[in-house]
A = this chain, B = another copy of it.
Amino acid sequence: MSLNVQYEGSRRTHLRHEMSANIRRCAYEQLAAGGAESLSMNAIAKKLGVSGPALYRYYASREELLAELVTESWEELAARMEETAAGASRLSAAERFRAEAQAYRRWALDSPHRYRLLNGSRFGTGALDPERIVPAAHRTMIVVLGALVEVSSPRGLRPPLTPELSAQLLAWATSRRPDSSVPPEVLLRGLLAQTRIHGVVSLEIEGYFDQLGIDADLLFDHEVDALLA
């Protein structure tokens, strides 16, 4: 293989990556403007000045493009959470947890269209790739558990954990990481961190608390403190 062919190959790969990224950027803009309903392959092709068939060489279907957006969003959120944890490594575990919770919330508030996509999509159905989504969701959970496991002298759970749920939590942790030694109470706190924060954030991005005249900041802080209490 001549150097010229190698160069051509790497240039093509580069252009291909650039085009894929442009397609996804266009798609996110459409989602931001009108939700998942407004995502249109034709409109993307038109915007980028390429033909329909050219576009379908990158993403074989609208479904496939949507799946890629969901997966990429999970991965970006995971990376954001890891950066936040690293940046807060000198803080106390409780402060680190607060910073992580706010980073998660900020990601959702900055791109509500992507947050809706991320949580409105089912693992293992359609074109979604669990081989990428599950690890990304897992990375986010690892970050959260890292802070929660360190929270000094956590008070006992109220109500106490039942043996049945405890066994399921341990089986979940072991399936993800066979050497896991995270206690079931911390695993439950991690799972509740996810459901409770999602409960507030998913209603906040729809303007629900504005409607009630409640400052979402205050409600969110209360929930985060309750998880640490």
Contacts and interface: CB of A to CB of B under 8 A. Distances in A.
| Chain A binding surface, main DSSP class | helix
A153 interface: no
A183 interface: no
Interface stretch (A7-15, A25-33, A96-104, A201-209): A201-209
Contacts of A51: none
Interface in A76-130: 116, 119-125, 130
Contact of A213 (B37, B171, B195, B222): B171
User: How many copies are assembled?
Assistant: 2
B206 A122 contact: yes
Given A165-B218, A168-B218, A196-B199, A229 B121 contact: no
A214 interface: yes
Contacts of A165: 214-215, 218-219, 222
B206 A195 contact: no
B199 A214 contact: no
B199 A229 contact: no
A228 to B, nearest CB: 8
Contact of A120 (B122, B206, B226): B206
The listed residue with most B CB atoms (<10 A of its CB), out of A159, A169, A199, A214, is: A199
Nearest to A197: B199
Contacts of A125: 207
A175 interface: yes
Best-surrounded residue of A116, A188, A197, A214 (most CB of chain B within 10 A): A214
A128 B67 CA distance: 30
A164 B122 CA distance: 38
B213 A203 contact: no
Interface of A: 36-37, 116, 119-125, 130, 134, 158-159, 161-162, 164-165, 168-169, 171-172, 175, 188, 191-192, 194-200, 202-203, 206-208, 211-215, 218-219, 222-223, 225-226, 229
